[in-house]
């Protein structure tokens, strides 16, 4: 078992995220659809992760706590988080003059976040405001 693992962040759309955002951003469906990270079976074992326990993702930009979900198909060293304000906590605005920030293939560190809470949407808005 290890404390921290180096991972690459992948982001993207999911069906549930689509359904959730069309209900509304403040809906339960939406939060549930984007506040987690899919982690490979191998990495989950290495960390000692059980399904739905909180994990913390850290990049050079910041950190965020998400629910960990064990994936049977993801390769070790990769995590998948649906697009949304949760993962945007740790993604940077550097677009290399293209307009598009790097939202996929971003290096990060992953560890268990026992005792830490996954933020709500309102928590994230507070962070945005700096309050």
Partner 1 sequence: MATYSDVICPFCGCLCDDIEITVENNKVVNTKNSCAISRSKFIKNDWGRIIFPTINGEPAPYEKAIEEAVKILSSARRPLVYGLSKTDNEAIREAIHLTELVGGVIDSTTTVCHGASIIAMQNTGVATTTLGEVKNRADLIVFWGSNPAEAHPRHFQRYSVTPKGKYTPNGRSGRYIVVVDVRETRSSKLADQFIRITPNSDFDVLQALRALVRGQKLSVGEVGGVQINILEELADRMKGAKVGCVFYGLGLNQSEGRHMNVDAMYSLVSELNHHTKFACNPMRGCFNVTGANMVTTWQTGYPFAVDFSRGYPRYNPGEYTAVDLLAREEVDAALIMGSDPASTFPLEAARHLSKIPVVTLERKETPTSMISKVVIPVATSGIETDGTAYRMDYVPLKLRKVVDPPQGVFSDAVVLRDIIERIKALEVDSI
CA distance 35 to 110: 15
- Under the binding rule (CB under 8 A), the answer on residue 88 touching partner 1 is yes
Of 67, 76, 103, 109, the one binding partner 1 (CB under 8 A) is 103
Of residues 10 through 29, those in contact with partner 1 by CB under 8 A are: 10-15, 18-20, 22-27
Q: How far apart are CA 95 and CA 85, in angstroms?
A: 18
128 part of the interface to partner 1, by CB under 8 A = yes
Exposure of 24 in the CB half-sphere (CA atoms within 13 A): 3
Tell me: does residue 125 bind partner 1 (CB under 8 A). Answer: yes
Q: By the 8 A CB rule, do 68 and 51 touch?
A: yes
Per CB under 8 A, does 76 bind partner 1? no
Q: Nearer to partner 1 by C-beta: 55 or 90?
A: 90
Give the interface size with partner 1 as a residue count (CB under 8 A): 51
Q: Which parts of this chain interact with partner 1 (CB under 8 A)?
A: 8, 10-15, 18-20, 22-27, 61-62, 73-75, 78, 80, 83-85, 88-105, 121, 124-125, 127-130
């Amino acid at each position: 078992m290890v404390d921290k693992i180096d991972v690459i962040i992948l982001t993207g759309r999911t069906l549930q995220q689509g359904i959730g955002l069309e209900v509304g951003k403040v809906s339960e469906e939406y939060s549930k659809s984007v506040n987690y990270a899919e982690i490979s079976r191998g990495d989950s074992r290495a960390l000692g992760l059980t399904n739905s326990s909180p994990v913390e993702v850290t990049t050079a930009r910041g950190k965020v706590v998400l629910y960990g979900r064990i994936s049977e198909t993801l390769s070790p060293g990769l995590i998948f988080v649906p697009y949304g304000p949760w993962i945007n906590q740790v993604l940077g605005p550097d677009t290399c003059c293209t307009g598009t920030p790097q939202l996929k293939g971003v290096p990060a560190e992953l560890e268990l976040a026992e005792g830490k809470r996954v933020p709500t949407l309102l928590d994230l808005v507070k962070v945005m405001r700096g309050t």
